[in-house]
Amino acid sequence: MKKRRPRSVITVCGPMTMRRSLYRCRSCSTAWYPLDEELGLVKDSDCTAALREMISFVQGEETVKETSETLTKLLGFPISPSTVDRVAGVEGARAKLILDSVRGDVVPQQAPDVLLVEIDGCMTRHKDGWHETKIAVISEAAARIEKAPSQGEIERAKRECRTPRGREVLLWRNYVADAESLESFKKRLWREAERSGACQARKIAVIGDGALWIKNAAEEVFLFPATDDWAGEKPAPELVLIVDWYHAMEHVWSGIEAIYGNRGDLARARVSELESILWDQGDAKAVARVFREAALAVRTAAARETLEKEAGYFDHNASRMNYPLYRLLGLPVGSGPAEGACKSLIHARFKRPGMRWSRSGLSEILALRLFRKNHRWRELWPLAA
């Protein structure tokens, strides 16, 4: 049997009240509204699927108040901040659930020869203090190209008596991010890497800043079984771990400043020597020896502690600083895209003045941003009209 029941809804054309048929099963008394399903209406929401998609799309880039103002201006009728907040919470939770679900039908986008995985972390302020959001950018070596320097860069280089530098760009990239735990980040990292062709790659190069958690996570996620146990048709991909060159040079400068107390001419000359040792020889242990010997001669305890710390950094990461070999293999040694992802994916949305996040609130909006940044929005809204 069926009855006609009214319901007030908000569509992309404005608020309206409609009368739709209620069907009820005579045997089990289950009730349903076919028109509600057709419009994508869900329980406890008065917005159609098309409007919820609009709210989610904008909310991934703007604050609740900005989203309300933007949609009110574009649609021509008011969308309240409370509606934006409620819809974004529900749809963000759904996006997060899809990201965290285990899928067995993952089809690689391509089969790269060398898959690049750049990992980093950045701090975001929560209601209970600062917490780290872990980020990865997945691409391939062949997709990392250098554009020719612009005319402005050429002119600046001439004035500074240096060689003009081009800008390195990625032809494609996939983002991974997680604000909850290292374990959930590793699961997301593997799923996105699998989608990007990790199992078909010859090598997987992981670039990070030398943090121990990055090394451990990379080995746990990408260190495939021995070749005899590998189930694939090709040999298991080789894992190559690389410490980002620019972070390595920051640690060189930190040690040299502890020795000289400044960045004067003597300090710069010494940095050039150590830079050559790292770049041309890949001998990080030689750099560590320099700092340990200097620690015996410095006068202050603070300088001695810094030098011992930096010596330990180069000792522990020596196996990941073979820069001549990486260049010979055609591998990058910088993690610029990961640094850029921290700014574009996290800072631009979650580190605005005065923002304080709950763990769940940040994770929900982050999930919406990941679907948009990875160009997979239709997976989240396959039936939206």
Name which residue leads in pLDDT, 70 or 152.
70
C-alpha to C-alpha distance for 51 and 90, rounded to whole angstroms: 13
The residue to which tokens 């990625």 are assigned: 170
**What residues does 242 pair with on adjacent strands?**
207
Question: Where do runs of H (alpha helix) occur along the chain?
Answer: 34-39, 49-59, 64-75, 81-100, 151-159, 182-195, 212-222, 245-260, 265-276, 284-295, 301-316, 323-328, 336-341, 348-350, 359-373, 377-380
* Model confidence pLDDT, tens digit, residues 183-226: 999 999 999 998 888 888 889 999 999 899 999 999 999 987 65
Q: Is the pLDDT of residue 316 over 90?
A: yes
Q: Is the pLDDT of residue 3 over 90?
A: no
* Model confidence pLDDT, tens digit, residues 343-373: 999 999 999 998 999 999 999 999 999 999 9
pLDDT band at 5 (very low <50, low <70, confident <90, very high): confident
3-state secondary structure of 241: strand
Please say whether the beta carbons of 93 and 375 come within 8 A.
no
* Model confidence pLDDT, tens digit, residues 79-109: 999 999 999 999 999 999 998 886 655 666 6
- Supply 183's token pair: 């374990």
Amino acid type, 115: L
**Residue 261: DSSP 8-state:** S
Contacts of 358 (CB under 8 A, 6+ apart): 126, 127
**pLDDT given at position 358:** 92
- Rg (alpha carbons) of the chain, rounded to whole number: 26
- Supply 83's token pair: 């509606």
**pLDDT given at position 103:** 63
pLDDT band at 44 (very low <50, low <70, confident <90, very high): low
**pLDDT given at position 267:** 87
Q: Is the pLDDT of residue 275 over 60?
A: yes
- pTM comes to 0.84
**pLDDT given at position 385:** 44
**pLDDT given at position 263:** 81
Mean pLDDT score across all residues of the chain: 86
